[in-house]
Amino acid sequence: MINKLIQYLKSSKAFGNKFKSNDIQFILLTSGGYRKYAKSRIVVIIFDGSKPILVMKFYKNSDSISDEFKTQNQIYDIYGDLISKPLGIEYCNDYNLFIEEPVLGKNLTRHVYENLNQNSLVEIFTNLFTFYGHLNSHLEPSNIENFIKEIDLVFQNFYSHFKISNSHKDMIEYLKLEFIKNFENKNIFQRFSNCDFILNNFIINDNNMTLTDFEFSKKTHLYFLEWFQLFRYQWITSNSYIHDLTISEISEPFYNLGLKEFSNYKTNEKFELSCRLIFEITDFIKRIDVSSLSTCNTLIRDMEVFLNELSSRFDTPNIKQKKPNLEDSEKEFFKKEHDKLIQYKNNNDELIDIRISNDEYKLKLKKTFEELDKIRRDFDTEKYLNEHLRKDNEEFRKVNKAIHRELDNTRNHNDELRKELDNTRNHNDELRKEIKRMVSDHENYKNSIENSSLWKLLKNFDKLSGKKQSD
């Protein structure tokens, strides 16, 4: 199917000129099994030789990709090369294909993993903060009414997917009001956000960062919670270590709030709790809208766990924040990394042992298959002989049947001959009887003649005639 879609793009007016050779390859990326069918997404990176030339995206639900393209187009008009460039929509085989220009560079998650030293991490996160500043350079003025309207809509959507227990209801309403209260009498702004502000969605090339993936993008007043999202889904390095590295470099309030909340520096201060609550709810709504039934159930269970933890913090007096200690956090981070490496080595050793056992098993399996193959060949030979015997038996049965038919015919013929012989005997017996009767009748007739007066007269006459002649 993918090849057919690529062939369609090659023949299209809009994108045909991107294909310079016939050496076309592609990499297929899917959204994973956690999504519901209608929200399933496929991303295809198309290469001409070794050069990426196009990114093609499509969903089972065509409307989703069309909306994403429109919003990303608006964002690109504002921010230009800060984000991936949308190129157009093509319709093929009942799919709306969203075509995007590929971004050259390295995934930021991988870049962080390869640069865990202090200077590199400070540079990466200060560059991220600078990027965030570029996004905020296009803030649009708004007002508290629109701000509250968005918050109310968030909670309305949340309550439609999640049943709040009575024990959490008062806390949630309190923190909601606390969150809104913090923005009263302040300048309110809004801007576009991709609502997926995580390391995985950044590409870095020569320290230039490009933001990708605008599936959930929208205009929002809650853009500042992007930092909560970034540190919530950042697990390459310790957030406590990043906190101690960058606390003196970056003074943005929500950067520090998000970093504190997902590190060892969290407090129970009510506004911090309210920001965490609003972030978790918006993230829950975003994810549950595209998730499969089983994933939705997991999200609901995770939300219940989170609310219980938040309730415990809410009821606990505010704790004093720890003082940053770069040396301790660095030691803790690299100790954990060292433990991971040791665990990796142990796992690798286990894997080597498993491979050795596997090789031995493969050898045994090979011998078993060889024996099975020999048995199969013997069986085939036996089967061949049996087949020939069966055919010979069939031929013998046919000959035997023919002999039996001939014998039956001979028996029938003999029976007919016997019947004919019996009839001849009967006929002969009747002839004998008839001859006997005729002989008897002849004797009787002869006797009757001889005893008749006329015969006697003639006889006497002959006697008389004889005497005269002699005289």
pLDDT tens profile 130-157 = 999 999 999 999 999 999 999 999 999 9
> Do 224 and 295 belong together in one domain?
yes
Question: In the block, which residue shows the tokens 């975003």?
Answer: 286
> Do 218 and 154 belong together in one domain?
yes
pTM above 0.85, yes or no: no
- CATH code, domain with 187: 3.90.1200
- Residue 421's pLDDT is what? 85
Residue 412 resides in a domain: yes
Residue 33 resides in a domain: yes
Residue 467 has pLDDT above 60, yes or no: no
- CATH code, domain with 30: 3.30.200
Among candidates 185, 200, 167, 195, which has minimal Cα distance to 279?
A: 195
Last residue of a domain, one of 100, 131, 148: 100
Q: What is the dihedral of CA 195, 201, 203, 208, to 10 degrees?
A: 20
Domain ranges, residue 252: 106-322
Contacts of 16 (CB under 8 A, 6+ apart): 9, 10
> Do 114 and 236 belong together in one domain?
yes
Mean pLDDT, the chain, rounded, equals 88
**Alpha-carbon distance values, 250 to 151, 230, 244, 256 (Å):** 28, 15, 11, 8
> Do 331 and 213 belong together in one domain?
no
Last residue of a domain, one of 306, 322, 338: 322
CA distance linking residue 182 with residue 325, whole number of Å: 30
- Provide the 8-state DSSP code for 208: E
**Alpha-carbon distance values, 195 to 13, 226, 283, 296, 469 (Å):** 33, 7, 9, 19, 175
Count how many Cα atoms sit within 13 Å of the Cα of residue 218 in the half-sphere of its side chain.
9
> Do 310 and 427 belong together in one domain?
no
> Do 333 and 312 belong together in one domain?
no
**Alpha-carbon distance values, 189 to 36, 136, 220, 221, 342 (Å):** 34, 9, 9, 6, 49
* CA angle 453–455–456, rounded 5-degree value: 65
Max CA separation in the chain (angstroms)? 203
CA distance linking residue 231 with residue 258, whole number of Å: 7
pLDDT in tens, 284-323: 999 999 899 999 999 999 999 999 999 999 998 877 767 7
E strands along 289-448, which residues? none
What is the chain's Cα-based Rg?
54
Residue 460 resides in a domain: no
Residue 204 resides in a domain: yes
pLDDT in tens, 29-80: 876 667 887 778 889 999 999 999 999 998 876 666 888 899 999 999 999 9
CA distance linking residue 450 with residue 367, whole number of Å: 120
Percent of the chain having pLDDT more than 90? 52
> Do 398 and 348 belong together in one domain?
yes
Residue 147 resides in a domain: yes
Residue 210 resides in a domain: yes
- Provide the 8-state DSSP code for 123: H
Residue 14 has pLDDT above 70, yes or no: yes
Neighbours of 2 (CB within 10 A): 12
The DSSP string of 396-434 is HHHHHHHHHHHHHHHHHHHHHHHHHHHHHHHHHHHHHHH
> Do 256 and 389 belong together in one domain?
no
Last residue of a domain, one of 291, 322, 353: 322
| Mean pLDDT (whole number) for 424-441 | 85
> Do 285 and 351 belong together in one domain?
no
CA distance linking residue 32 with residue 41, whole number of Å: 8
- Residue 189's pLDDT is what? 98
> Do 316 and 333 belong together in one domain?
no
Residue 461 resides in a domain: no
> Do 276 and 415 belong together in one domain?
no
Looking at the structure of the chain, the number of domains it has is: 3
E strands along 142-246, which residues? 189-193, 202-205, 208-211, 218-220
- Residue 344's pLDDT is what? 66
> Do 153 and 258 belong together in one domain?
yes
Where does 247-292 have alpha helices with state H? 253-261, 270-288
The better pLDDT of the pair 333, 212 is held by 212
Residue 452 resides in a domain: no
